[in-house]
Chain A
Amino acid sequence: MSAPVHPFLAGTASDAASKLGQSGEAILIFFGVGLIIFVAAGRATGRLHRPMTITVLLGPALILLAVGLVIPAIRTIYLSFYNDDSTAFISGKNYTWAFTNHSAQQALINTLLWILIAPIVATVLGLLMAVLVDRLRWQSVYKSLIFMPMAISFVGASIIWKFVYDYRAPGRPQTGLLSEIVMKLGWHNPPDWILTHPLNNFLLMVIMVWSQTGFAMVVLSAAIKAIPDDIIDAAKVDGARGLAMAFRITLPMIRNTLIVVLTTVMIITLKLFDIIRTMTGGNFGTEVLANDMYSQTFTNFDTGKGSALAVILFAGVLPLVGYNIVLLRRERQIR
């Protein structure tokens, strides 16, 4: 350890105390005000009781949702028909740009690739793990380790994988695990992974798959265990086993869960921002919709184009979530 006592240390400690103090204060005020309102509103009796309850308990949520989501969403749609600083109406020009400009097109194509490949791979691997792991001893250890990346932020995951993909010229000692492995396997001249298009897109998708497979595994595993025993038994009596059992009994029984998992990962993938921002900043042909939206808005200060991209993102998410809702409602009615 160099420098045992650091000059900034005292400053750091008081900085931390004041920041956490602010948090504590905010929490105290929040619950203090809440308690006062509760006690005051609780005194209302008779005809006032119900309206008072509804206003006080539901009001804050509705106001926050209106101000934070509903109104801004409508305003973004409105802004998407305006120019860069929202001063002139330009009808659909931002959308024409999004579908014709080369870089925006690239973002759209990449996003499409992402939502087609990453969720399917994650779901299939998750399903494979869910089916296989239950037969093994130490299954909870395997499950925890596969599931662990879910708790890691995409930023943390990006650093982990950037280290795996680290490139050194072939003659020098390798520092990235991927280069080391492929060179040991006989590929003596591997490319600089992250700079090589279109390979880099797939390498970045690996991060998403790594992160989401555990989610798919846990949810699908629960669904498989929830299949009623008598159905399994009946199928066995009829002679189904092995692959036939998997494809004709297990998969159809968990079909809805499979779709929910797939669409959920698709939605996460569609909104993907952190990995691209951290790994490439959208360079080297890896741009995606959500990062482009950020760059247009906060780097190019073009609110119109940024808003149009956000609306396109919304249009992509809409059918996925809509389908999920329909599916969940139907399942609920059956139960």
Chain B
Amino acid sequence: MSTPAEVVSPINTGPTGSAVKAVRRSFASPLASVLVILLTVLWTVPTFGLFIASFRPSGASATSGWWTAFAHPQLTLSNYNTVLFHSANFGTSGGIMPFLVNSLAITIPATLFPLSIAAMAAYVLAWVKFRGSDALFFFIFALQVVPLQLALVPLLQLFSGGAHIGTIALIPALNVSGTYVSLWTAHTMFALPLAIYLLHNFIAQIPRDLIEAGLVDGASHFRVFRTIILPLATPALAAFAIFQFLWVWNDLLVGLTFAGGSQAVEPLTVRLSQMVGSFGGRWELLTAGAFIAIIVPLAVFFSLQRYFVRGLLAGSVKG
């Protein structure tokens, strides 16, 4: 991607008369600028409004627009204090702090587990060929067609009741519904097809010589995987980790269903979604809560944007 943008720009140094070029440039550029700036403003203002509203005093956002805050600046941090630790109005005593912790407690393992399992599988599928390994890889890749919804109910039933044929229990009741374990497991399972696919693309491109040299030296595949593959695949691992982190942190459906309605484990998205429903004009709390929920992914996104974009391109352009 090192090609400078100007090279592909239609208005560029070509065998055109310089007058024509100048006219076209002066016409196209301001129009382009205006359009881009307009779109950018449109895209940013809603989030900005939320941000401002979250600092306005209780009741202010319900009686006047957030844009009036510039004329009468009166800002406070108390909404954050209230929504994090108090806000009994929303049906819990402790505010959203416990749910924020839940989100973190769910997201970190639910990122690391599929990452490790997928990296191992991707290595075997790429470098330890066996009969049917290519077909197997294609099958796993194709599993991306299965929408979460299609697997949801039976998996929930398995977690809560086990699996039976007639009266014979194939898998006993796991009793993990309403615990972190069910959320971690569900997120891991649903992440694997994309994870294996992305990591396989990368790991398969590692030079054969490096791996064979390791094996010739008498190292096992396990050793090669740990000492050669993992360090070299770091960019791909980072890209997927960011993806998965954002996906799990932002997820609503898995949190809603696999937490089994237990407030002890529900992630922040579930809580916020309920707050919107049961909310009665208390915009100052809702906006503060929403801002807390989006600041984490935004921080991850802005600090690791490069990896994020790379992952995006690997998944949807290259194949």
Contact = CB atoms under 8 A, between A and B. Distances in A.
Interface of A: 1-3, 6, 8-9, 11-12, 15-16, 19-20, 22-23, 26-27, 30-31, 34, 38-39, 41-42, 44-45, 49-50, 53-54, 56-58, 60-62, 64-65, 67-73, 75-77, 79, 125, 128-129, 132-136, 139, 142, 144-156, 158-164, 166, 173-177, 180, 210, 213-215, 218-219, 222-227, 229, 232, 236-237, 241-242, 245-246, 250, 257, 260-261, 264, 270-271, 273-274, 277-279, 281, 290, 293-294, 297-298, 303, 306-307, 309-311, 313-314, 317-318, 321-322, 325, 328-329, 331-332
A145 B47 CA distance: 10
Contact of A293 (B149, B226, B289): B149
A247 B143 CA distance: 36
Given A22-B105, A163-B49, 8 more contacts: A19-B180, A38-B226, A163-B50, A175-B65, A175-B66, A226-B3, A317-B145, A325-B141
Given A75-B154, A281-B277, A271 B147 contact: yes
Given A20-B105, A222-B1, A2 B192 contact: no
B226 A219 contact: no
Contact of B272 (A20, A155, A273): A155
Contacts of B308: 151
B91 interface: no
Nearest to A207: B46
A159 B290 contact: yes
User: Max chain A CB contacts within 10 Å: which of B67, B140, B220?
Assistant: B220
Contacts of B67: 177, 180
Interface residues of B, number: 137
Contact of B124 (A57, A132, A278): A57
B97 interface: yes
B232 interface: no
Nearest to A8: B94
Contacts, number: 395
Given A2-B81, A53-B124, A154-B250, A173 B153 contact: no
Looking at chain A's contact residues, is the secondary structure mostly helix, strand, loop, or mixed? helix
